[in-house]
Chain A
Amino acid sequence: MIAIQLDALAKIYPGTIEPAVNNISLEIEKGSIVTLLGPSGCGKTTILRLIAGFEKAERGTVSLDGKVVAGNGIWVPPEQRGVGMVFQDYALFPHLDVYKNVGFGYKGEDRRERIMQVLDLVGLQGLERRYPHELSGGQQQRVALARALARRPVVVLLDEPFSNLDADMRAQMRLEVKRIIKNAGATAVLVSHDQKDALAISDKIAVLEAGEIQQVGTPREIYQYPENSFVATFVGQTNLLKGKIGEDGCSVLTALGKIPYNYTHAYQPGEQVNISVRAESLEMSREGNIKGRVKEAMYTGEAIDVQVVVDLPGGESLDLVAHVHPEEEVREGDMVAFSVLPNFVKVVGDK
Chain B
Amino acid sequence: MRRYDYHDGAANMQYNLKYKISPLYNRGTWSSIIKRLWGRLWGGNAPDPYLALLASAIGLLMAVPVLYVIWRSLFAGAERWTRLLDTRIPALMQNTLSITVATTLLSIVLGVSLAWLVYRCDLPGRHLWQWVLAIPLVIPPYVGAVAYIMLLGPTGWVRDLLGAAPVDIYSFGGVLFVLLMFKFPYVFLICGAALKRMNSSYEDTARSVGMGTWEMFWKVNFPFLRLAIGAGAILTSLCVLSEFGVIALMRYNTFTSAIYYQMESYDNISATVLSFPLIALTLLFLWLEFLSRKKQKFYQTTNNFRKTETIKLGRWKPLAFFWVGSVFLLSVLLPLSVLVYWSVFGLAGGALDSSFWGYALNSIKVAGLATLMSMLLALPVVYLKSRYPSLLSAVISKISSSGYALPGVIVALGIIFLFNQYIPWLYNTFFLVAVAYLVRFFPQTLQYGEASLNLISPRIDEAARSLGYPSRKVLFRVIIPLLRPGLLAGGALVFVSSLKELPATLLLRPPGFDTLAVRVWVEASEAVYHLAAPAALLIVLVSILPLKLMLSKY
Contacts and interface: CB of A to CB of B under 8 A. Distances in A.
Does A pair with B?
A: yes
Interface of A: 7, 13-15, 52-54, 56, 61, 72-73, 77-81, 83-85, 87-89, 91-95, 104-107, 147-148, 151
Contacts of A93: 460, 463-464, 478, 482
Interface string B1-30: 000000001001100100011000000000
A85 B460 CA distance: 11
A87 B467 CA distance: 13
B304 interface: no
Nearest to B468: A105
B12 A151 contact: no
Contact of B12 (A52, A54, A72, A89): A72
B318 interface: no
B462 A52 contact: yes
B21 to A, nearest CB: 6
A307 B467 CA distance: 50
Interface of B: 9, 12-13, 16, 20-21, 39-40, 43-44, 456-457, 459-460, 462-470, 478, 481-482
B21 A87 contact: no
Contact of A13 (B12, B44, B482): B44
Given A13-B44, A14-B40, A14-B43, A91 B460 contact: yes
Contacts of A7: 9
Contacts of A77: 465, 470
Given A14-B39, A77-B470, 7 more contacts: A56-B44, A61-B13, A78-B462, A91-B463, A92-B463, A94-B482, A151-B468
A95 B482 contact: yes
Given A72-B12, A72-B13, A93-B460, A78 B43 contact: no
B466 A79 contact: yes
B462 A87 contact: yes
A159 to B, nearest CB: 9
Contact of B466 (A14, A85, A89, A95): A85
Contacts of B13: 61, 72
B334 to A, nearest CB: 46
A147 B456 CA distance: 19
A91 B457 contact: yes
Contacts, number: 76
Contacts of B478: 93
B216 to A, nearest CB: 43
Contacts of A56: 44
A87 B468 contact: no
A76 to B, nearest CB: 12
A72 B16 contact: yes
B465 A78 contact: yes
Given A54-B462, A73-B16, A95-B482, A105 B467 contact: yes
Contact of A15 (B43, B460, B466, B467): B43
Contacts of B9: 7
Contacts of A61: 13
A95 B463 contact: no
B467 to A, nearest CB: 3
B466 to A, nearest CB: 4
The 7 A-B pairs with the shortest beta carbon distances in the complex, nearest first, are A105-B467, A91-B459, A91-B463, A85-B466, A105-B468, A14-B44, A73-B20
* Most interface-central of B9, B40, B44 (chain A CB within 10 A): B44
